[in-house]
Amino acid sequence: MKFVDEYRDADAAVRYARALERITTKTWTIMELCGGQTHAIVRFGVDELLPGSITLVHGPGCPVCVTPIELIEKAIEIASRPDVIFCSFGDMLRVPGRSKDLLTVKAEGGDVRIVYSPIDALTIARQNPAREVVFFAVGFETTAPANAMAVYQAAQQRVGNFSLLVSHVLVPPAMEAILSSPANRVQGFLAAGHVCTVMGYTEYEPVARRYRVPIVVTGFEPLDILQGIYMCVLQLEQGRSEVENQYRRSVRREGNRPAQDLISKVFRVVSRKWRGIGEIPRSGLALQPLYAGFDAETRFGVADRTADESPDCISGAILQGLKKPFECPAFGTGCTPEHPLGATMVSSEGACAAYYRYRRNEISAAS
């Protein structure tokens, strides 16, 4: 397949692995930030090609995984109302709350619908003026422009029965939280190419300088990831800490300015709680005061709800690169994709789901 096969060429992958062996003289730990990269690494065995001195750890870049449990509880409460049509991407429906998930709400008669875009939810709102339509706006900077556009259009078209349950998070503050932790072991980052397609990478430059850590903007195919790792290791070996762009076919340094303008028109930066990690200052987005009328938390009076995580789930340590999924006692036994305890086992981008899908046989053979 054009533009896919070229990036999955096995011979080229082996050549990259040999080149990495030639330049590597020390042990290095590198974190890929995006759950899509994690899945590609585990699915294609990229980590198994690397020299033993290079360790990959998996970061918090799966938006479903880092959505805190109280947001799930708020979604469940809103979706259970008879006057509400609750719209969401499919991944969110099986993320466990305290006692149930959104799929259970749907099975119990709630009007919960899977949509592929917030604009689809806005269309549903226009078609159902007597119902409240809520879109679960989960994601990193990647999905923020479409969510901002939905609210902007709702305001322009005076669609009063549409609102967003916002759970937007931002990548650079999460990187700083990881690097500031006394337990940090990350020495270099593969940044997520799609986030940088929107935001560019100027905001990573102060992070690289302050923490003396190389950051390589990287794509999602196996050869993208191997090249990103090579560029990162080369910087580490040469004592450099710069931001470099492996994903040039999509990312420009300044990013997509119109998309950034729309995000800042509709959203403002706020502190956000990350599932398993806790609150990170200035790490998320909330609606600007001008668009506060589209905030579902206020509209349905659920802003102050709180909930505790399952004590058995160690996804917080996994999302910070401190543990691997197979180190969780519940992995593959108490926690499976059919009966997940944590979001990292549910999401298509979650690290636990990736190991369960592609590695569980070798993990159980080794244990």
Determine if 325 is a binding residue for ligand SF4 (CB under 6 A). Answer: yes
Window 22-51: contact mask with ligand SF4 (x via CB under 6 A) = ------------------------------
Token pair 């993320």 is found at 95
Report the residue from 54, 169, 231, 318 that binds ligand SF4 according to the rule CB under 6 A. 318
One of 331, 347, 354, 359 touching ligand SF4 (CB under 6 A): 331
Give dist(CA 346, CA 158) in Å, integer: 36
Q: Does position 342 bind ligand SF4 by CB under 6 A?
A: yes
Q: How far is it, in rounded angstroms, from Cα 132 to Cα 160?
A: 9
Which range, of 15-23, 110-118, 142-150, 307-315, touches ligand SF4 by CB under 6 A? 307-315
Binding piece for ligand SF4, criterion CB under 6 A, among 79-87, 172-180, 183-191, 333-341? 333-341
The region of 10-18, 37-45, 135-143, 335-343 touching ligand SF4 under the rule CB under 6 A is 335-343
CB 94 → ligand SF4: shortest distance, Å? 12
Alpha-carbon dihedral 355, 357, 362, 363, rounded to 10 degrees: 40
| Contact status: 330 vs ligand SF4 (CB under 6 A) | yes
Min dist CB 332 to ligand SF4, Å, is: 7
* Helices 144-156, 118-127: crossing angle, 10 deg rounding: 30
Distance of CA 65 to the CA centre of its chain: 7
Residue burial 192-226, b: 16+ Cβ < 10 Å; e: rest? bbbbbbbbbbebbeebbeebebbbbbbbbbbbbbb
Among 344, 347, 349, 354, which residue interacts with ligand SF4 (rule: CB under 6 A)?
344
Which 108-167 positions form the footprint of ligand SF4 (CB under 6 A)? Answer: none
> What is the size of the binding site for ligand SF4 (CB under 6 A)?
16
Q: Which of 159, 345, 347, 354 binds ligand SF4 (CB under 6 A)?
A: 345
Give the sign of the dihedral formed by CA 231, CA 236, CA 237, CA 238.
positive
Q: How far is the CB of 343 from ligand SF4 (least distance, A)?
A: 7
Q: What are the contacts of 358-367 at 24+ separation with CB within 8 A?
A: 358/42, 358/43, 359/42, 359/326, 360/332, 363/326, 363/331, 363/332, 364/332, 367/326
CB of 314 to ligand SF4, least distance (A): 5
Window contacting ligand SF4 (CB under 6 A); options: 108-116, 147-155, 260-268, 342-350: 342-350
CB–CB of 87/134 below 8 Å?
yes
Instruction: List the structure tokens of 187.
Output: 């020495």
Chain residues 180-209 in contact with ligand SF4, contact rule CB under 6 A: none
On whether the CB atoms of residues 155 and 107 are closer than 8 A, the answer is no
Could you say which of 124, 198, 335, 354 contacts ligand SF4 (CB under 6 A)? 335
Q: Which stretch binds ligand SF4 (CB under 6 A): 81-89, 108-116, 314-322, 359-367?
A: 314-322
Q: Does 341 participate in binding ligand SF4 (rule CB under 6 A)?
A: yes
Residue among 76, 115, 314, 354 that touches ligand SF4 (CB under 6 A)? 314
Which residues are CB-neighbours of 21 under 8 A, at least 6 positions away?
A: 51
String of DSSP letters for 212-236 = T--EEEE-SSHHHHHHHHHHHHHHH
Count of CA atoms in the C-beta half-sphere (13 A) of 309: 19
Nearest partner of 66 among 148, 171, 220, judged by Cα: 171
Q: Residue number with the shortest CB distance to ligand SF4?
A: 342
Compare residues 69 and 318 and give the one whose CB is closer to ligand SF4. 318
* 313 touches ligand SF4 (CB under 6 A): yes
**Residues at the contact surface with ligand SF4, assessed by CB under 6 A:** 312-315, 318, 325, 328, 330-331, 335, 340-342, 344-345, 352
